[in-house]
Structure 1
Amino acid sequence: MTTIEPVRKDIQRQGHIKKYSASLRLWHWANTIVISGSLLTVLINSTITDERPVSALVKNELKNASAMVSDEQAGSVAHALGDRVWSIHIYFGYVLVGLLLFRLALEFFQLADQKFIRKMKSAYRQFQSTKKERELVKHELTVKAIYAVFYILLLVMAVTGLFLAFEDLLAPFKSIRHSVKEVHGFCMYLILAFIFVHLAGVFLAERKDNKGIVSDMINGGGDHQ
């Protein structure tokens, strides 16, 4: 489990802790809110607004009110409720795409020592060349690799989500809709796994030598140890 704990130390500058720019912190917390909201809509539509129980509920409630409706009519109401929730899910998806583009832009405009790709390359070079604190560098490289996979998952989620949102405009590719939907759903489960691993890692880090990671992501970090 230690390999999933975020590292608070700056491996490029001994005696310092990592700095997080205001832009990166804004992206991190906004992304947290949007992904949580998106997953919540999926949970609601698979439980509270699931078509079968909602159809039965609508039919029974109207029957108690002396109004009779057919199964098809009740199903239409349930389907409409589900569509409302999915429309919110789509809006969250648009925001997620915007945040992903914002994060990609940060790689060009961030300070050089805070760029993700630069940090990952630096960790790899240090792992290859140094024997001192090799475990710390290996740890940092592993965490960065996990984050890289997360960014790739976000990209796949964004692309497949846009395909599903604009499927009417992409009629020539309708034959692959089911496959795209399957990939989109599978990536959602992988992102859920990442969230669990990330939270577990932060929890473990806060209980050990890297206490203060959460506050660093709020106030920017960068203080001397």
Structure 2
Amino acid sequence: MAAIEPTRRSPVHPQQIKKNSPGLRLWHWLNALVITGSLLTVLLNSTLLKTRKNAAFIQDTLKEAGATVTNDQARSVAHELSDKIWTLHTYFGYVLVGLVVFRLLLEFFQVADQKFIRNLKSAYAKYQSVKQQRETARHDFLVKTVYAIFYLMIITMAVTGLCLAFEDDVPALKAIHAFREIHQFTMYLILAFIVVHLAGVFLAERKESPGIVSDMINGGKE
């Protein structure tokens, strides 16, 4: 499990706590809220607001109240309820796209030692060259690689989501069914990442990196 635990300190200079810029911290927490909201809309529509089950419930409830509706009418109402949640899901998707753009722009304006790409390359170089604390350097590189994969998943989710949102307006997009499959598959990958990430942070807090959550709030104070 150690491979999934993020670290607070540099493998080369363990006395230094890694810094998180205000922009990165804002992105992190907004991204967490948007992804949580988006996943909750999927959960609602696949459980409580499933059209077929709700249609039968609506029809039975109205019959008990003395009203009569056809199955098609009940399904139409149930489908409308589901569509409202999918609309909310789409709005979350638009915000996610905005956050992706914000994160890409942020990478250009971060100070040099806080740029993700630079730190990823640096972690790999340290792993290749550091003789002492080689295990720590390898761990740091592995964690950053997992985060890089997460960034790619978020970008994939945003791009395929946009394609699905505008498929009714762009016939060429509607013809490519792979967008929906990729979008759904990426959702499961992101769910897996969330579980792994939370487990890693929990273990890090209890073992060698206590304070890692507060670092993402206050920026990484000594």
- How far the C-alpha of 1:209 sits from its partner, in A, is 1.1
| SS of the residue 1:188 aligns to | helix
- Structure 1 residue aligned with 2:184: 185
Task: Return 5+ residue gaps in structure 2 as ranges.
Answer: none
- How far the C-alpha of 1:175 sits from its partner, in A, is 2.0
- Structure 1 residue aligned with 2:124: 124
- How far the C-alpha of 1:198 sits from its partner, in A, is 0.1
Q: Measure, in 2, the Cα distance between the counterparts of 1:74 and 1:153.
A: 38
Q: Measure, in 2, the Cα distance between the counterparts of 1:220 and 1:108.
A: 19
- Paired residue type of 1:124: Y
Q: Measure, in 2, the Cα distance between the counterparts of 1:14 and 1:185.
A: 40
- Structure 1 residue aligned with 2:23: 23
| SS of the residue 2:16 aligns to | coil
CA displacement, residues 148-203 of structure 1 (integer Å, 9 cap, x when unaligned): 00000001100100000000222023221x22101100000000000000000001
| SS of the residue 2:62 aligns to | helix
- Paired residue type of 2:218: N
- Paired residue type of 1:184: H
Query: CA contact under 8 A between 1:93 and 1:158: conserved in structure 2?
Result: yes
Query: CA contact under 8 A between 1:90 and 1:165: conserved in structure 2?
Result: yes
Q: Measure, in 1, the Cα distance between the counterparts of 2:194 and 2:187.
A: 11
Within 5 Å, give how 1:1-80 maps onto structure 2. Answer: 1-11=1-11, 13-80=13-80
Within 5 Å, give how 1:128-167 maps onto structure 2. Answer: 128-167=128-167
- Paired residue type of 2:201: V
Provide the TM-score with structure 1 as the length reference: 0.96
**RMSD (Å) for aligned C-alpha atoms:** 0.9
Query: CA contact under 8 A between 1:16 and 1:222: conserved in structure 2?
Result: no
Q: Measure, in 1, the Cα distance between the counterparts of 2:49 and 2:208.
A: 45
Task: Return 5+ residue gaps in structure 1 as ranges.
Answer: none
CA displacement, residues 100-121 of structure 1 (integer Å, 9 cap, x when unaligned): 1101011100011000001011
Deviates more, 1:213-222 or 1:197-206: 213-222
Q: 1:86 to 1:78 in 2, by over 3 A?
A: same
CA displacement, residues 64-115 of structure 1 (integer Å, 9 cap, x when unaligned): 1111001100000010000000000000000000001101011100011000
Q: Measure, in 1, the Cα distance between the counterparts of 2:90 and 2:111.
A: 33
Q: Measure, in 2, the Cα distance between the counterparts of 1:98 and 1:173.
A: 21
Query: CA contact under 8 A between 1:17 and 1:222: conserved in structure 2?
Result: yes
- How far the C-alpha of 1:16 sits from its partner, in A, is 1.0
Provide the TM-score with structure 2 as the length reference: 0.98
| SS of the residue 1:158 aligns to | helix
Q: Measure, in 1, the Cα distance between the counterparts of 2:14 and 2:200.
A: 23
- How far the C-alpha of 1:11 sits from its partner, in A, is 3.1
Highest RCO, 1 vs 2 (Cα 8 Å, sep ≥ 6): 1
Q: Measure, in 2, the Cα distance between the counterparts of 1:192 and 1:173.
A: 26
- How far the C-alpha of 1:12 sits from its partner, in A, is 5.1
- Structure 2 residue aligned with 1:220: 219
- Paired residue type of 1:50: K
